[in-house]
Amino acid sequence: MKCADGVKNKIRPLFADLYDSLMFSYFDGIFGNAFCDDTTAPTAAVICCGDFCFAAGDKSFGADMLKFCSDNKNAVIVPDSEELAKALCACDGQLKIVKRYHTCPPENDFDTDKLRETLSRVQNMGQLKLSMIDEELYKKALAEQWSESFVCNFKDFADFSAHGFGYVLTDNGRIVSGTSAFSYYDKGVEIEVSTRKEYRLKGLAQITAAAFLLECVRRGLTPHWDARNLTSLSIAQKMGFVFRDEYIALEYK
């Protein structure tokens, strides 16, 4: 497959059945790379944005599509059809089909009073401290695998501070939970939410998400929450997001 970055408008129709803000970022020329079988009249293509790979078109190119993500065992591959999903699994026995969930912002905007109430819970969290990600916290997030996705899709802190933002809770200076911009496009951001394993089930993600969403409202940005599992979907709905649809993706076993 060949680089398709110069023929974005030709591959765009192949992804008509896929919805994701990461693709908005790609087509805005901000984030990711794409490859296709033929730059003149493409019938199959893949868009790679960080750990996410969006595959569409002719299933006979399945093996070629996987070449762009097979080295990343954290890859999330989103096919445009169940037929393509099965073809990709047939090409690599280490892949498994999983369910993920799209959400969308509430039709009548977020309930900012409710978000502020959620945010106020930080006062009952003892020594935990809520902070916007600065350069020091950027470096700390990048240093650990569980938190690197808060900032890793930006070139450096200057890029992050210019186009992204995030909030984290720290315990004696160590990041324990956070919500940040995984990526961005001209009108919005994709949300990354994560909590250190030993701090989960304490409501920390809701606090950082509330802070992040209030900042989105202040900046006039549309936030996107792609839920990896039902737990993530539940948190999103508590924040005001509305379930949009269930979709299939592929992950490595």
- Secondary structure (DSSP) of 73-114: TT-EEEESSHHHHHHHHHH-TTEEEEEEEEEE--TT---HHH
Q: Quick check: helix, strand or coil at residue 52?
A: strand
CA atoms within 13 A on the CB side of 70: 12
Confidence at residue 3, expressed as pLDDT on a 0 to 100 scale: 87
Give pLDDT, residue 139.
98
Closest CA to 51 of 20, 25, 75: 75
The predicted pLDDT at position 222 comes to 96
| Edge-to-edge strand ranges of the sheet holding 222-224 | 129-132, 166-171, 174-184, 188-195, 222-224
3-state helix, strand, coil in the chain (%, to 5): 40, 30, 30
Strands 76-79 and 52-57: parallel
Whole-number pLDDT of residue 70: 79
Q: Any residues with CB less than 8 A from the CB of 180 and at least 6 apart, and which?
A: 133, 141, 149, 150, 151, 164, 165, 166, 167, 168, 191, 192, 212
What per-residue confidence (pLDDT) applies to 29?
93
Rounded CA gap, 225 and 216, in Å? 13
Q: Which residues face 46 on adjacent strands?
A: 35, 55
pLDDT, residue 73, reads 86
Interior angle at CA 149, CA 146 and CA 154, nearest 5? 150
Q: Which residues pair with 45 in a beta bridge?
A: 36, 56
CA 99 from chain centre, in angstroms, equals: 15
- Pairing type for strands 129-132 and 188-195 reads unpaired
pLDDT in tens, the chain (253 residues): 988 889 999 999 999 999 899 999 999 999 999 999 999 999 999 999 989 999 999 999 999 999 998 788 889 999 999 999 999 999 999 999 999 999 999 998 999 999 999 999 999 888 999 999 999 999 999 999 999 999 999 999 999 999 999 999 999 999 999 999 999 999 999 999 999 999 999 999 999 999 999 999 999 999 999 999 999 999 999 999 999 999 999 999 8
Q: Phi, psi at residue 237, to the nearest 5°?
A: -65, -35
